[in-house]
């Protein structure tokens, strides 16, 4: 089943001689449970595409559909709620709350939404990511790799339709990067979690089920 789809997606900045076509008519489909890597050089449009897929920025034209819903048909408040419930994010910066414990960071998105914490689901994520011994620790007491594991756990806690990862290993050494990416692949299989990751690293991209290449705002290989 197609869980994420874009049609004729465009994002333009400026006009006339200063016109920049960050995305220039992107058509992309992602199936449920698929792990897709979007690869491109700096300035290729991959980060802009990820922001559009996650509803963080609105396109100039075109559509992004998540679970059959055109997310840009929603007004800002409704889009914020939809994004919080349906889309998980993992960024290069871990964005953990420094004064909250690991466990409280993980369940924070659920609590912000007024939802009920599914303790069985949370415990499954914590076990899969090997965080059992760190639940009472503060982020500052963790290594970079451990902090990124917490960020992944937080992104999965709400049972999102899709997880979007923006250079998730950018701040990690090569060995830790491989560990984190292997865990993400395991998460994809264990929870049938749909994942879309952007990266400039060809080696990291090979861990995905499918590689999509973007150049000058256009997909050249899908």
CATH number at residue 88: 3.40.50.300
- Domain of 186, in residue numbers: 2-221
Q: What is the pLDDT of residue 222?
A: 76
Question: What is d(CA 184, CA 31) in angstroms, rounded to the nearest whole number?
Answer: 17
* Torsion-angle region of 55 (φ positive above 0: left; ψ -120 to 50: alpha; else: beta): left
Q: What is the pLDDT of residue 182?
A: 82
Question: What is d(CA 88, CA 106) in angstroms, rounded to the nearest whole number?
Answer: 12
Q: How far does CA 90 lie from the centroid of its chain?
A: 5
Q: What is the pLDDT of residue 171?
A: 78
Q: What is the pLDDT of residue 47?
A: 92
- How many C-alpha atoms does 6 have within 13 Å on its Cβ side? 23
Count of structural domains within the chain = 1
Question: What is d(CA 215, CA 39) in angstroms, rounded to the nearest whole number?
Answer: 9
- The Cα-based distances of 72 to 46, 58, 88, 114, 129 in angstroms read 19, 7, 17, 24, 33
Q: What is the pLDDT of residue 218?
A: 95
- pLDDT tens sequence for the chain (222 residues): 999 999 999 999 998 889 999 999 999 999 999 999 999 988 899 999 999 999 999 999 999 999 999 999 999 999 999 999 999 999 888 899 999 999 999 999 999 888 889 999 999 999 988 899 999 999 999 998 899 899 999 999 999 999 999 988 777 777 788 888 888 888 788 888 999 999 988 888 888 999 999 999 999 987
Q: Which of 179, 217, 158, 213 is nearest to 37 (CA)?
A: 213
């Amino acid at each position: 089943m197609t869980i994420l789809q874009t049609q004729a997606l465009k994002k333009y900045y400026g006009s006339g001689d200063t016109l920049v076509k960050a995305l220039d008519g992107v058509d992309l489909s992602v199936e449920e449970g698929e792990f897709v890597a979007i690869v491109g050089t700096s300035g290729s449009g991959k980060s802009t595409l990820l922001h559009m897929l996650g509803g963080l920025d609105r396109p100039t034209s075109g559509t992004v559909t998540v679970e059959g819903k055109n997310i840009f048909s929603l007004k800002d408040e409704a889009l914020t709620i939809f994004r919080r419930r349906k889309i998980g994010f993992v960024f290069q910066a871990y964005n953990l709350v420094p004064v909250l414990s690991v466990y409280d960071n993980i369940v924070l998105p659920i609590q912000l939404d007024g939802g009920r914490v599914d303790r069985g689901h949370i415990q499954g994520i914590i076990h899969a990511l090997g965080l059992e011994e760190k639940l009472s620790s503060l982020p500052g007491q963790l290594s970079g790799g451990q902090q990124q594991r917490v960020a992944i756990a937080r992104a999965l806690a709400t049972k999102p339709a899709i997880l979007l990862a923006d250079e998730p290993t950018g701040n990690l050494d090569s060995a830790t990067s491989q560990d984190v990416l292997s865990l993400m692949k395991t998460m994809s299989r264990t929870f049938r979690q749909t994942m879309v990751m952007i990266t400039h690293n060809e080696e990291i991209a090979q861990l995905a089920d499918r590689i999509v290449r973007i150049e000058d705002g256009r997909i050249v290989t899908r």
